[in-house]
Amino acid sequence: MLKRSRFKRAKPSNIELTDRDVAIIRALEHHRFLTTDHLMTLTDTSSRQGITRRLRELFDAGYVDRPKAQMLTMAYADKRPMVYALGNAGADLLADRFQLRLPDVYWTEKNRRVKEKFVEHTLGIADFMVAMELACRTAGNIEIIPRETILAASPQNTRRREYPFRWQTRVHWNNEWQELAIVPDAVLGLRYTDKPAGKNKAYFFVEIDRGTMPITRRDVKQTSFARKLHSYADTFERKLHTEQFGIKNFRVLTVTTGRERIKNMQEAFQAEVGGSAPAGLFLFAEKGRAPEAMLDWANGNGDPVSLI
Protein backbone atom coordinates (compact mmCIF):
# COMPACT_ATOMS: atom_id res chain seq x y z
CA MET A 1 0.00 0.00 0.00
CA LEU A 2 1.43 3.38 -1.04
CA LYS A 3 2.09 5.87 1.74
CA ARG A 4 0.02 9.03 1.38
CA SER A 5 1.80 12.36 1.10
CA ARG A 6 1.42 14.41 4.25
CA PHE A 7 0.95 17.62 2.27
CA LYS A 8 -1.19 16.47 -0.65
CA ARG A 9 -4.87 15.85 -0.23
CA ALA A 10 -6.28 12.47 -1.10
CA LYS A 11 -9.77 11.87 -2.43
CA PRO A 12 -12.00 12.82 0.51
CA SER A 13 -14.52 10.46 1.99
CA ASN A 14 -18.00 11.60 2.95
CA ILE A 15 -17.68 12.61 6.57
CA GLU A 16 -20.26 13.84 9.02
CA LEU A 17 -18.81 16.57 11.21
CA THR A 18 -18.82 16.00 14.96
CA ASP A 19 -18.83 18.57 17.75
CA ARG A 20 -15.11 17.93 18.19
CA ASP A 21 -14.50 18.59 14.48
CA VAL A 22 -16.26 21.93 14.76
CA ALA A 23 -14.28 22.75 17.92
CA ILE A 24 -11.05 22.02 16.01
CA ILE A 25 -12.07 24.28 13.12
CA ARG A 26 -13.06 27.10 15.46
CA ALA A 27 -9.80 26.78 17.40
CA LEU A 28 -7.79 27.05 14.17
CA GLU A 29 -9.68 30.17 13.18
CA HIS A 30 -8.97 31.70 16.58
CA HIS A 31 -5.28 30.75 16.93
CA ARG A 32 -4.23 30.68 13.21
CA PHE A 33 -1.86 27.71 13.64
CA LEU A 34 -2.04 24.80 16.10
CA THR A 35 -0.22 21.50 16.47
CA THR A 36 -1.77 18.10 17.06
CA ASP A 37 -0.76 18.47 20.73
CA HIS A 38 -2.58 21.80 21.01
CA LEU A 39 -5.73 20.34 19.46
CA MET A 40 -5.63 17.32 21.78
CA THR A 41 -5.48 19.66 24.78
CA LEU A 42 -8.19 22.02 23.59
CA THR A 43 -10.60 19.19 22.75
CA ASP A 44 -9.72 17.05 25.78
CA THR A 45 -8.68 14.16 23.52
CA SER A 46 -6.58 11.32 24.92
CA SER A 47 -6.05 9.24 21.79
CA ARG A 48 -3.30 10.64 19.55
CA GLN A 49 -3.90 7.95 16.97
CA GLY A 50 -7.60 8.73 16.83
CA ILE A 51 -7.26 12.51 16.46
CA THR A 52 -4.40 12.11 13.95
CA ARG A 53 -6.61 9.91 11.79
CA ARG A 54 -9.49 12.37 12.05
CA LEU A 55 -7.30 15.37 11.24
CA ARG A 56 -6.17 13.55 8.11
CA GLU A 57 -9.82 13.12 7.08
CA LEU A 58 -10.53 16.79 7.78
CA PHE A 59 -7.44 17.72 5.75
CA ASP A 60 -8.49 15.62 2.77
CA ALA A 61 -11.96 17.20 2.92
CA GLY A 62 -10.47 20.73 2.98
CA TYR A 63 -11.73 21.69 6.44
CA VAL A 64 -8.18 22.08 7.76
CA ASP A 65 -4.87 22.74 6.07
CA ARG A 66 -1.24 21.71 6.61
CA PRO A 67 1.07 24.69 5.93
CA LYS A 68 4.07 23.61 3.87
CA ALA A 69 6.31 26.07 5.72
CA GLN A 70 6.69 23.38 8.39
CA MET A 71 8.32 20.89 6.02
CA LEU A 72 11.88 21.96 6.90
CA THR A 73 11.18 21.86 10.63
CA MET A 74 9.71 18.37 10.35
CA ALA A 75 12.99 17.16 8.87
CA TYR A 76 14.89 17.99 12.08
CA ALA A 77 15.98 15.20 14.40
CA ASP A 78 13.71 16.53 17.17
CA LYS A 79 10.51 16.31 15.18
CA ARG A 80 7.48 18.36 16.10
CA PRO A 81 3.80 17.41 15.79
CA MET A 82 2.00 18.33 12.58
CA VAL A 83 0.90 21.97 12.33
CA TYR A 84 -2.62 22.75 11.15
CA ALA A 85 -4.41 25.84 9.86
CA LEU A 86 -7.91 26.71 8.73
CA GLY A 87 -8.93 25.31 5.34
CA ASN A 88 -11.36 26.71 2.78
CA ALA A 89 -14.17 24.32 3.69
CA GLY A 90 -13.62 25.12 7.38
CA ALA A 91 -13.90 28.85 6.70
CA ASP A 92 -17.14 28.27 4.76
CA LEU A 93 -18.52 26.22 7.65
CA LEU A 94 -17.79 28.97 10.19
CA ALA A 95 -19.32 31.63 7.96
CA ASP A 96 -22.49 29.60 7.36
CA ARG A 97 -23.03 28.08 10.80
CA PHE A 98 -21.79 30.89 13.05
CA GLN A 99 -22.03 33.91 10.72
CA LEU A 100 -18.38 34.72 11.38
CA ARG A 101 -17.05 37.53 9.21
CA LEU A 102 -13.78 36.07 7.99
CA PRO A 103 -11.34 37.67 5.53
CA ASP A 104 -12.38 37.07 1.92
CA VAL A 105 -9.30 35.04 1.02
CA TYR A 106 -8.41 31.68 -0.46
CA TRP A 107 -7.17 30.05 2.72
CA THR A 108 -5.11 27.33 1.05
CA GLU A 109 -3.12 29.95 -0.83
CA LYS A 110 -2.85 32.16 2.26
CA ASN A 111 -1.41 29.22 4.21
CA ARG A 112 0.94 28.30 1.39
CA ARG A 113 2.51 31.76 1.38
CA VAL A 114 3.41 31.94 5.07
CA LYS A 115 7.08 31.69 6.06
CA GLU A 116 8.57 29.37 8.65
CA LYS A 117 9.44 32.20 11.06
CA PHE A 118 5.85 33.45 11.06
CA VAL A 119 4.54 29.95 11.77
CA GLU A 120 7.07 29.49 14.59
CA HIS A 121 6.20 32.82 16.22
CA THR A 122 2.47 32.16 15.96
CA LEU A 123 2.93 28.71 17.50
CA GLY A 124 4.82 30.35 20.37
CA ILE A 125 1.75 32.47 21.06
CA ALA A 126 -0.45 29.38 20.77
CA ASP A 127 1.76 27.51 23.25
CA PHE A 128 1.12 30.26 25.79
CA MET A 129 -2.61 30.62 25.11
CA VAL A 130 -3.35 26.89 25.20
CA ALA A 131 -1.35 26.40 28.41
CA MET A 132 -3.12 29.39 29.99
CA GLU A 133 -6.52 27.99 29.02
CA LEU A 134 -5.65 24.64 30.59
CA ALA A 135 -4.37 26.40 33.74
CA CYS A 136 -7.65 28.29 34.07
CA ARG A 137 -9.65 25.09 33.63
CA THR A 138 -7.58 23.43 36.35
CA ALA A 139 -7.96 26.39 38.73
CA GLY A 140 -11.72 26.14 38.37
CA ASN A 141 -12.49 29.75 39.29
CA ILE A 142 -10.95 31.55 36.30
CA GLU A 143 -12.28 32.06 32.78
CA ILE A 144 -10.36 33.54 29.86
CA ILE A 145 -11.76 36.69 28.27
CA PRO A 146 -10.71 36.40 24.61
CA ARG A 147 -9.46 39.37 22.62
CA GLU A 148 -12.63 39.33 20.52
CA THR A 149 -14.73 39.99 23.63
CA ILE A 150 -12.34 42.76 24.71
CA LEU A 151 -12.55 44.35 21.28
CA ALA A 152 -16.36 44.10 21.18
CA ALA A 153 -16.53 46.11 24.43
CA SER A 154 -13.95 48.68 23.28
CA PRO A 155 -14.77 52.24 22.22
CA GLN A 156 -16.20 52.65 18.74
CA ASN A 157 -13.06 54.37 17.42
CA THR A 158 -11.01 51.30 18.30
CA ARG A 159 -13.48 48.87 16.75
CA ARG A 160 -13.38 50.81 13.48
CA ARG A 161 -9.61 50.70 13.12
CA GLU A 162 -7.91 48.39 10.65
CA TYR A 163 -5.47 47.33 13.38
CA PRO A 164 -7.35 47.74 16.67
CA PHE A 165 -4.64 46.08 18.79
CA ARG A 166 -2.01 48.59 17.69
CA TRP A 167 -1.68 52.01 19.31
CA GLN A 168 0.72 54.94 19.42
CA THR A 169 2.80 55.78 22.48
CA ARG A 170 5.04 58.74 23.27
CA VAL A 171 8.52 58.24 24.69
CA HIS A 172 11.00 60.89 25.84
CA TRP A 173 14.43 59.86 24.60
CA ASN A 174 17.64 61.91 24.28
CA ASN A 175 15.73 65.11 25.03
CA GLU A 176 13.22 64.43 22.24
CA TRP A 177 9.71 63.01 22.13
CA GLN A 178 9.39 59.92 19.96
CA GLU A 179 6.09 58.50 18.68
CA LEU A 180 6.28 54.70 18.87
CA ALA A 181 3.70 52.07 17.99
CA ILE A 182 3.15 49.05 20.23
CA VAL A 183 1.51 45.78 19.13
CA PRO A 184 1.24 43.01 21.76
CA ASP A 185 1.67 39.43 20.60
CA ALA A 186 -1.58 38.58 22.38
CA VAL A 187 -4.30 40.31 24.38
CA LEU A 188 -6.51 38.54 26.91
CA GLY A 189 -8.39 38.97 30.13
CA LEU A 190 -9.12 36.76 33.12
CA ARG A 191 -12.51 36.68 34.83
CA TYR A 192 -12.51 35.42 38.42
CA THR A 193 -15.85 33.75 39.06
CA ASP A 194 -15.49 33.86 42.86
CA LYS A 195 -14.88 37.62 43.10
CA PRO A 196 -17.46 40.42 43.16
CA ALA A 197 -18.28 42.49 40.08
CA GLY A 198 -15.88 45.35 39.62
CA LYS A 199 -13.00 43.34 41.12
CA ASN A 200 -13.28 40.18 39.06
CA LYS A 201 -11.44 41.05 35.84
CA ALA A 202 -7.78 41.49 34.96
CA TYR A 203 -6.32 42.26 31.55
CA PHE A 204 -2.99 41.40 30.01
CA PHE A 205 -0.83 42.27 27.04
CA VAL A 206 1.45 39.35 26.17
CA GLU A 207 4.95 39.40 24.72
CA ILE A 208 6.50 36.15 23.46
CA ASP A 209 10.27 36.64 23.46
CA ARG A 210 12.39 34.14 21.51
CA GLY A 211 15.66 35.42 22.93
CA THR A 212 16.83 37.08 19.72
CA MET A 213 15.69 40.67 20.29
CA PRO A 214 18.26 43.03 21.88
CA ILE A 215 17.37 44.02 25.43
CA THR A 216 18.54 47.61 24.89
CA ARG A 217 19.79 49.68 21.95
CA ARG A 218 21.17 53.17 21.56
CA ASP A 219 18.18 54.32 19.54
CA VAL A 220 14.75 53.75 21.04
CA LYS A 221 13.27 53.75 17.54
CA GLN A 222 15.05 50.46 16.87
CA THR A 223 13.45 47.20 17.93
CA SER A 224 14.38 46.23 21.49
CA PHE A 225 12.81 45.05 24.71
CA ALA A 226 13.55 48.44 26.28
CA ARG A 227 11.42 50.07 23.61
CA LYS A 228 8.50 47.86 24.67
CA LEU A 229 9.10 48.80 28.32
CA HIS A 230 8.91 52.49 27.51
CA SER A 231 5.79 52.12 25.36
CA TYR A 232 3.91 50.12 27.97
CA ALA A 233 5.04 52.51 30.71
CA ASP A 234 3.64 55.42 28.69
CA THR A 235 0.43 53.44 28.13
CA PHE A 236 0.12 53.03 31.91
CA GLU A 237 0.99 56.64 32.74
CA ARG A 238 -1.42 58.23 30.25
CA LYS A 239 -4.10 55.51 30.61
CA LEU A 240 -4.00 54.70 26.92
CA HIS A 241 -5.36 51.23 27.72
CA THR A 242 -8.59 52.84 28.92
CA GLU A 243 -8.75 55.11 25.89
CA GLN A 244 -8.03 52.21 23.52
CA PHE A 245 -10.00 49.36 25.06
CA GLY A 246 -12.12 50.81 27.86
CA ILE A 247 -10.29 48.69 30.47
CA LYS A 248 -9.14 50.06 33.82
CA ASN A 249 -6.11 47.87 34.41
CA PHE A 250 -3.47 45.87 32.57
CA ARG A 251 -0.22 44.02 33.11
CA VAL A 252 2.39 42.87 30.63
CA LEU A 253 3.20 39.15 30.61
CA THR A 254 6.58 38.41 29.02
CA VAL A 255 7.39 34.78 28.25
CA THR A 256 11.04 34.20 27.41
CA THR A 257 13.74 31.60 27.04
CA GLY A 258 15.35 31.27 30.45
CA ARG A 259 16.18 32.69 33.87
CA GLU A 260 19.23 34.63 32.71
CA ARG A 261 17.16 36.35 30.03
CA ILE A 262 14.51 37.18 32.65
CA LYS A 263 17.16 38.65 34.94
CA ASN A 264 18.43 40.87 32.12
CA MET A 265 14.89 42.02 31.35
CA GLN A 266 14.23 42.83 35.00
CA GLU A 267 17.44 44.85 35.16
CA ALA A 268 16.33 46.71 32.02
CA PHE A 269 12.99 47.47 33.67
CA GLN A 270 14.71 48.90 36.75
CA ALA A 271 17.12 51.00 34.68
CA GLU A 272 14.72 52.21 32.00
CA VAL A 273 11.28 52.74 33.57
CA GLY A 274 11.57 51.65 37.21
CA GLY A 275 11.09 55.24 38.38
CA SER A 276 7.83 55.76 36.50
CA ALA A 277 6.13 52.35 36.36
CA PRO A 278 5.34 49.94 39.20
CA ALA A 279 7.24 46.64 39.26
CA GLY A 280 3.95 44.74 39.13
CA LEU A 281 3.15 46.18 35.71
CA PHE A 282 5.68 43.80 34.12
CA LEU A 283 5.57 40.07 34.88
CA PHE A 284 8.05 37.47 33.61
CA ALA A 285 8.21 33.70 33.19
CA GLU A 286 10.06 31.02 31.24
CA LYS A 287 8.41 29.34 28.29
CA GLY A 288 7.65 25.63 28.32
CA ARG A 289 6.30 25.55 31.86
CA ALA A 290 3.70 23.03 32.96
CA PRO A 291 0.13 24.37 32.83
CA GLU A 292 -0.16 24.27 36.62
CA ALA A 293 2.68 26.81 36.82
CA MET A 294 1.19 29.22 34.28
CA LEU A 295 -0.40 31.40 36.97
CA ASP A 296 2.92 31.98 38.78
CA TRP A 297 5.14 34.88 37.62
CA ALA A 298 7.89 37.23 38.81
CA ASN A 299 7.58 41.02 38.69
CA GLY A 300 10.10 43.61 37.54
CA ASN A 301 11.93 43.43 40.87
CA GLY A 302 12.04 39.63 40.89
CA ASP A 303 9.30 39.17 43.48
CA PRO A 304 6.84 36.27 42.98
CA VAL A 305 3.35 37.16 41.78
CA SER A 306 0.34 34.87 41.37
CA LEU A 307 -2.47 35.59 38.91
CA ILE A 308 -4.98 33.81 41.15
Is 24 part of a structural domain of the chain? yes
Residues 269 and 297: their CA atoms lie apart, in Å, by 15
pLDDT value for 77: 47
In which domain, by residue range, is 72 found? 19-114
Statement to judge: residues 102 and 130 lie in one domain: no
Q: What is the pTM of this model?
A: 0.91
One-letter identity of residue 288: G
Statement to judge: residues 38 and 89 lie in one domain: yes
Task: State how many domains the chain has.
Answer: 2
User: At which of 114, 138, 173 does a domain end?
Assistant: 114
User: At which of 114, 141, 170 does a domain end?
Assistant: 114
CATH of the domain at 88: 1.10.10.10
pLDDT in tens, the chain (308 residues): 445 788 899 988 889 999 999 999 999 999 999 999 999 999 999 999 999 999 999 999 999 999 998 887 665 545 678 999 999 999 999 998 988 877 777 888 899 999 988 999 999 999 999 999 999 999 999 999 999 999 999 999 999 999 999 999 999 888 889 999 999 999 999 999 999 999 999 999 999 999 999 999 998 889 999 999 999 999 999 999 999 999 999 999 999 999 999 999 999 999 999 999 999 999 999 998 888 899 999 999 999 999 98
| Angle between helix 225-237 and 259-272 (nearest 10) | 50
Dihedral of the alpha carbons of 45, 49, 51, 52, in degrees to the nearest 10: 140
Counting Cα atoms < 13 Å in the Cβ hemisphere of 283 gives 19
pLDDT value for 203: 98
pLDDT value for 6: 86
User: At which of 114, 144, 165 does a domain end?
Assistant: 114
Contact between 139 and 295 under an 8 Å Cβ cutoff? The reply is: yes
